[in-house]
Amino acid sequence: MRGEKTFSFFLLLFFILISQTTATNYPINVWPKPTTFHWPNPKSIFLSSNFTISHPYHRYLTPAVDRYRHLILSEHHRPIITPAINLTSSIPLQSLIISVSDVTSPLAHGVNESYSLSTPSGGSSAYITAGTVWGAMRGLETFSQLVYGNPTRVAAGVYIHDLPIFTHRGVVLDTSRNFYGVDHLLRLIKAMSMNKLNVFHWHITDSHSFPLVIPSEPKLAGKGAYSNEMMYSPADVQKIVQYGMEHGVRVLPEIDMPGNQNL
């Protein structure tokens, strides 16, 4: 009993400390918390109905930009507590301009994911500058979290600089013990990107079931999958990997052979 009380006391102390160190008085908070968040004079600005995002063309960044532009213009997110901020008298925000210094860096372990984001308190453009397209995607996620309401408003006069503390931020999912359909995996990847996680460790197969179709060895899935419906075709895998790239999530496959017993 005494141990429990001491434990409760420290837990309470912990939460008090946490709530004090993370307390901000900002009317909008970004998740995960950026390393630098300056919003000296909280106001909002209307978003133009013909809002555009300019960016360098890139196989994976371009679909991400299209997705975020659609989300930003159509979501009309209503926060539980409406931010108590006044509108600027400025013209609506016309554009978000993304610049990337190196568009060739692949989504590899330790890739530079830093970005800076500023929204104007007066002008017509917001800016994201990033070292790589992957950093630009994190910046887009942050920008989308600054947008709310109907008609749509954006937090004005914000400056953010952000970079991850951990290079590997992942989720493991075992589809051998429990099969999950392709749509479920895509939904997981989408949720990961909203939380700026970057590695989907896909434990595809094991001794429990072998849902991965390998065309040169058809018996593996043929005899190893739980059923004919519970398999991933090469096209499914390609779709999952591509969806991951468009969300800044690297798919790390783990293929264990049937009968493998880990000690």
Ligand X SMILES: *[C@@H]1O[C@H](CO)[C@@H](O)[C@H](O)[C@H]1NC(C)=O
> Which residues are near ligand X by CB under 6 A?
48-50, 84-86, 92, 94, 101, 112, 114, 131
Place of tokens 């999958």: 225
Q: Per this entry, what is the length of the chain? A: 263
What is the crossing angle of helices 61-74 and 234-246, to 10°?
A: 70
CB of 220 to ligand X, least distance (A): 42
Which residue is at the shortest CB distance from ligand X?
131
| Nearer of residues 13 and 87 to ligand X, judged by Cβ | 87
223 residue type, one letter: K
Nearer to ligand X among residue 85 and residue 182 (C-beta)? 85
| Cβ closest to ligand X, residue 92 vs residue 170 | 92
* Sheet bearing 199-205, strands edge to edge: 170-174, 199-205, 250-255
**Measured from the CB of residue 9, what is the shortest distance to ligand X in angstroms?**
38
C-alpha–C-alpha distance, residues 197 and 210, integer Å: 27
User: Cβ closer to ligand X: 135 or 211?
Assistant: 135
CB of 213 to ligand X, least distance (A): 39
**Of 46 and 179, CB closest to ligand X:** 46
CB of 31 to ligand X, least distance (A): 22
In the bound complex, what is the minimum distance in angstroms from residue 101's beta carbon to ligand X? 5
Partners of 115 in the β-ladder = 130, 162
Nearest distance, CB of residue 115 and ligand X, angstroms:
8
- Least spacing, CB of residue 75 vs ligand X, in Å: 19
For ligand X, give the closer residue by CB, 116 or 207: 116
Q: Report how far apart the first and last C-alpha atoms of the chain are (Å, whole number).
A: 38
169/201 with CB nearer ligand X: 169
